Structure 1
Amino acid sequence: MVEEFKHAYLRLSKEHGLEAQECVVNLLKSLQQSSKKEKLVLNLSTNSLTSKTCAVLGKIIAADHGFVEYKFADCMLSEDAVKGLTHGFSRNTYVRKLDLKGNNIRGPAAEALGKMLRHNKTILSLCLEWNALGMLDNAFTIFCEGVASNQTLQALDLRNNQISHDSAAELGRALKQNSSIRALDLRWNNVGLLGGRALIEMLQTNKTLTRIELAGNNIPADILTSIETALSQNQDRALITEDHKKKTSLLSKHLQHLEQEKAVQMDELMGTIDQQEELLRNTKRSSNDKIGQLQVALGERKAAFNSLASKLAMTESELALAEQKCNDYSVIITRLKHELSDSSSVHQGDIRREREDRANTEMKLLKELSEANERNISFETKVEDLERKCRQQTEQMFAFKEQTTSLQAEIKVKGSQYEERLQSERSRNKDALHEAEQIRQKEIARLKSEAEETEKVLRERIQRLELSRLQLEEELSLMKTMSMTDRLQAEENVNIARQKVKLEEESRFKALEEKLRLAQISKDELQSRHNQQQSHITELSSKNSSLTLEVETYKRRIEELSEEVNKKNMYTMQEVGKVKIDLQSVQTKLDSEKSVQKELRDKLAEADTKLSEQLMKHRELLDSKEREISHLAERLRAREGELARAREEEIQRAQILQNAVMTYVSKVPGSPSR
């Protein structure tokens, strides 16, 4: 933005045949070099600017959007220069502050300022200190008209402008129409008593002006107090209005937020209502489908009941025949039980003797096996400790374990042979079971007849329920659900009755089957055990001889393994001695390293002491330097005080010179007003 302003200034000065002033160019260059992102300020104060350069600047300012504040203080601008600048500011839409302090603005220049205030809608602060706006009443009235029409200006500085009581009255009339100015500075003018009264009248209508500076205007104290009271009322009113605006903005935001929340809630409610309607529709459809399916199922069940009724009639006759056969079989079973009891008493004595002999032999074998197992376990523990160092021994032990597993497999094979014999004997009993199954089927037929009778009773109930359903269907559609529940309850009762009948039938059949099966098994077992035990005794004697041979072989194997273990123990002891020698050498090395570390620690302690001494010296030097710095700072403060005094003296001298110039200018006759 600064580059564009600079190029435009140079271009327009060339077009008008002017030489660019160095003060303007140097200022633009400095701004271009700084080029901060803050708000830019064009400060041309205390620079003598010609009317033509001001005209060029006015044209550039009219279209500028970079500078927020312009300062033309103490530039001694002529009337044409002020007109050129005001022409540019009347079109500018970006400036916020304008400073025209100490430029002897009066007459046509004041009229140009009034016109500028009519057109400009962005300036918030206007400083016109040390000018002569109040010298000519006609020009000041035009300026006041511009102030009245402007509704954006908030601060107006009119100090030392020779404003009389008439011009103060004009300013009061203008401020009655203005509603934007918050602060007005009229210090060091000639407002007087009449001007103060005009300001009081203005404050009765203007409620936005909150601060007026009136020092050095020869206004009585009572008028000043009344003005201050009016201003305090305006301040309170401004605070109230600001609070009201803040509260209204907060309430509006809160209302908007509530409206948005309500809209969201309404959308959610509408969505939930739509979902519920869809669910109701789906439930209605599903209920209708279920009702149709249940009606179809009822028809199918009716047909099934009819078919079962015909089957029950057939099974009743079969059950009568089955009962006769059951009675015959019961007589036969009682006779067989007496025979079995006699034979069992004879065989039980033989079985006891054989069991005692078998128990003695088994105890001997178990003792020998337990001793062998204990020895094996002891050797296995030793072998497991040495497995990490000798893999060859592990392979031999695995071979030994494989042999034991093969022996166990042989035992399992022999057990499976015994099971095969048992299965062959069970097949003999299947024939007897087949006959018992026929008897069971006959009893099932009899129970089916009983079930049919219960089904007939339930059919009558179902017919009654159907009659009640037909009556209820003629009523309201809401009673359909009640009829469906009644149907489901009736079906559940039917199922419960069926399950009870089936359970009773099954319990009866199972009891009869178990009785027959136990009788036949006891008979067959007594006959087969005698033969089996004789063969088993011969097999056990052969096994005993084979196991004794295997135990002897295992003993020889264990002796060989013990010798190998002793050899390995000797080898391990030798290795342990070597490791101890290595450890002693390592310990000597560690002791030497510890001594070296102690020496290094001593050196570090000495270095720490030296560092602490150096730090103490460094701190003392720092303290001395800080004292010197504080002494120099006191000297600088004294020098700054002297400089401030010199500046104040220079400012007082400049004010005296300015007052002298102003008195000289006021004595010189002004140009005639338009």
Structure 2
Amino acid sequence: MEEFRYTYARLCKDNHVEPQECVLSYLKRLSVLFIQGNNIRGSGVEAVGKMLRHNHTIASVCLEWNAFGMLDNSFAMFCDGVGSNDALQALDLRNNQISHDGAVELAAALKRNHTLRALDLRWNSVGLLGGRAILEMLKTNKTICRLELAGNNIPGDILKSIDLALSQNEDRALLNDDHKSKLTVMAKHMKQIEHDKKLEISELMDTIDKQEDLMRRSKRSTTTKVDQLQNALEERKATFNSLAAKLAMTESELALTEQKVNDGNMLIAKLKQELTIKVSEHQEEIRRDHEERAKLEAKLYKELSEAHDKNIQLETKVEDLDRKCRMQQEQIFELKEQITHLQAEMKLKGSHFDDRIQQEKSRHRDEMKEAEQLRHKEVARVRQESEETETTLRERIQRLEMSRLELEEDISRLKNSNMVEKIQHEEQLSLAKQKIQADEENRYRQMEEKLRVSMTLKDEVQSRCNQQSSTISELQSKVSSLVLELENAKKRVEEANEQLAEKNSISLSEVGKVRIELNQTVNKLEAERKLQTELREKLGDSDRKMSEQLLRHREILEEKETEIESLKRRLKAREAEVNNIREEEMQRAQVLQMAVMNYVGKVPQSVDK
């Protein structure tokens, strides 16, 4: 055909005409060639052989009523081209004067050809030797299904053996076509399954992306909450700093009052009893505060230790749940592997049985004419049983896959919910721990500062009392000396009374100022007590919240444990079903094997009979 296309192009070029693309494309894809009745011989036969060697599109060639077999050398080249062609399916060589040598060459070439299916050699001179060569060729060539040999002086027994070989080739071709059709159907089914799996994978990826988005949002919300808590802590620190500044101011004011007290030692002597009473009351209050603080610290430490133990127990339970989920995932993967192994074993057994049946058919074709009806019935029954078993197994495998997918979805949902709840609980616990630690540190600092202030106040009051006692002793000595001088100073008393009245008014004003300052300090102490009561209430609320959260965690963990137990039961039921299916499959495979072995044993017995 390349030569024809080349000659067509050369003629168009000589005549100054553009070659038509449709003609060139037709010459490229030509599949049928008729060259009958042209008396082709010699070089023409060689040209046709070269064309067949290099052509890959022609499927049918009709060469009847020519003289291809006149020259052995040219016909040998033609046979070589036929043997090396990989597209030819039908060849017509009727009435071409082919001798037994040409038939031998053609048979040798057809041993290399695996595409030719129909060959017509009627009305030639093949003879006995050519018939034997063709019969030997059919032992190796399994693709030729139709061979016409009328009018070739071939003996009847050789023709019968050739017909038997052709019938075997026909059966083999039918089986190959059936196998190819089944392969195409299975390939389509596998493509559909791959497409479905890709869709499922895409859906899983979408769900994973959504979960990642939710996790990011939750992280953002937690970061905002942490920032808010940090701002609140900074505000509290600022308030504590302001309180410290106020305490410094009060200390400076106390220093000023000390200076005033040193100036009014005479007035403090009169107020000594009141101060001693107030100091004793203040000491008792401080002692009570110390006791209450010690009790609160012990209680808080106990609650913290209990909360820590409970958190450890919850973490151990969560780890056990994760371990159980991993074990379930491993069991699911083992089930998947077992299902794949079962499918592979079924496919291997099916292919093995098909190969055995084909071998038995090809081996005993000559001996099965008498028992052909029985064989057809047995093959039909075996095929029906195999098809029924295949359908039942496919349905059960589909059911198992559906149940496996459902279990995987349940496990993934439970795992995701467990992970989310675990993260939330861990975040809540960490936040609660941080809050409790910060509150405890702040309270501890406040209590330490208050204790330090109270101790400093106590030391200052004691120093003042010592100073006052020393001044009192000095004053008593002075009074004793003055008592002696009073008699001599009665005249001066009247003058001093006026001065004392003026000093009394001044001292009364100063005493009022001191009382106002003491009232202010008492109010501050009451405000601090209120703060302590509020902090105690907050601690009680936090304890209640912690207990409620722990109860919720316990309930959630109990629910998860019940769900895990139900899933274990389902898995055990599925495993029992899988084991039953395996046993049934093994029994059916044994039954099929026994049937095939019985059938194979009966066939040679019937042939021997």
Q: Structure 2 length as normaliser, TM-score?
A: 0.37
With CA pairs under 8 Å and 6+ residues apart, which has the higher RCO, 1 or 2? 2
Q: Structure 1 length as normaliser, TM-score?
A: 0.34
Higher gyration radius (CA):
1
